[in-house]
Structure 1
């Protein structure tokens, strides 16, 4: 039976070699999230990821067992990615692949009238540009909810905002997305 994240945290406190299992479990997910937040290449994203795992390891004793480990790890990752962006003071382009963008498009299609004749690739590019133009608070919830498949509670834990606020932000993000999609002739 595969141990839970919380069990691995407890085991990692006693045996540092067990931490490698947590790293293995979260490495690809957190790296993908960093790329989406920062738009950085693999090397820079991996550097940020390394800092994330160092922080996670150093703070394992402070892990609040009332939270999900994944939410806590994503929160640390979010902070590190944002700190990195602040250091270099750049606008952060959105990093996603066409499949993930297509999933987001399908979800958002229910709220918009996207022409059928537009190609998936063209549509994905337009959606990425629109998401990049969203205010950060809306962009964060869109990425976490639609691209990282996080629920309201997890997003709440990651962004340190009440779940009711997450619902409001997501609703406003969709409305803003719709507004921007009109400007970009997506609808």
Structure 2
């Protein structure tokens, strides 16, 4: 099946120019992200396939990180894709493109918050619906968990109390469903540190949700 993709104007230096314009059709369903990234070094239109695959996911990720204004998300995503394309030659195609592009977007978001001198608030895109969230049971063995049914508003309030580093890592692990190895690549930290931080973040969240636990 062919995909309709939005081809990036990779040559523009105009910060007001949108990264997307209606593009060509490509049959890319059988190609890996890594292979497409390699091909994009020679043919910039190949990068449009990656934009098509990741634009929606990364827009949602920016929302979850706390970029609440749509225009800001669009600008950050545009900058992230442009930076990713311009630095494709530094991407190791034996590694995960997904983790790499998430890292680029994450760094864009953190720079944005530093410029704004603001503390991002967690956003969940299932407002009004119930969410399931697995919280490690500190009273039992390490593999035990408690599954809670929470409203998005309730979970957002609890997450907002946590430190930024805990909120980021929980968002990647539970909402973006990233593996420990992927989180390690995205946040540029050892897997052991990722494991420790997730454990501590879940414990901190569990404390905030104490009145909801059995």
TM-score scaled by structure 2? 0.76
Q: Which residue of 2 is the match for residue 147 of structure 1? A: 175
Superposed CA deviations along residues 123-158 of structure 1, whole A, max 9, x for unmatched, are 321111111111112111100000001000000000
Which residue in the other structure is 2:191 paired with?
Answer: 163
- 2:11 match: none
- Aligned residue runs from structure 1 range 47-126, under 5 A: 47-98=75-126, 102-103=130-131, 105-108=132-135, 111-112=145-146, 123-126=151-154
Q: Does 1:138 align with 2:166?
A: yes
- Could you state the TM-score of these two structures normalised by the residue count of structure 1? 0.87
Residues 84-142 of structure 1, C-alpha deviation per residue, up to 9 Å, x if partnerless?
A: 0110111101111227x844x3423874585x8xxx5xx32111111111111211110
- Per the TM alignment, residue 33 of structure 1 is displaced from its structure 2 partner at its CA by 0.7
CA 1:42 to 1:12, structure 2 compared with 1: closer, same or farther past 3 Å? same
Larger-gyration structure (1/2): 2
**Contact 1:38/1:85 (CA < 8 Å) preserved in 2?**
no
Matching of residues 8-27 of structure 1 within 5 Å: 8-27=36-55
Q: Matched residue of 2:204: which SS?
A: helix
**CA deviation profile, 1:54-86 (whole Å, cap 9, x unmatched):** 100100011022420000000010000000011
User: C-alpha separation between the residues in 2 aligned to 1:66 and 1:165?
Assistant: 23
Structure number with greater CO (CA < 8 Å, separation at least 6) is 1
Q: Does the aligned pair in 1 maintain the 2:67–2:109 contact within 8 Å?
A: no
Displacement of 1:160 in angstroms is: 0.5
Work out whether 1:175 is the aligned partner of 2:199: no
Question: Which ranges in structure 2 are unaligned for 5 or more consecutive residues?
Answer: 1-28, 138-144
User: Greater helix percent: which structure?
Assistant: 1
| Native 8 Å contact 1:94 1:132 kept in 2 | yes
RMSD, aligned α-carbons: 2.2
Query: Is the Cα contact below 8 Å between 2:180 and 2:191 reproduced in 1?
Result: yes
1:37 matched to 2:65: yes
Q: Please say which of residues 132-141 and 170-179 is displaced more in the overlay.
A: 132-141
CA contact (8 A) 1:19 1:57 kept: yes
Write the distance in 2 (CA, Å) between the matches of 1:150 and 1:113.
Answer: 19
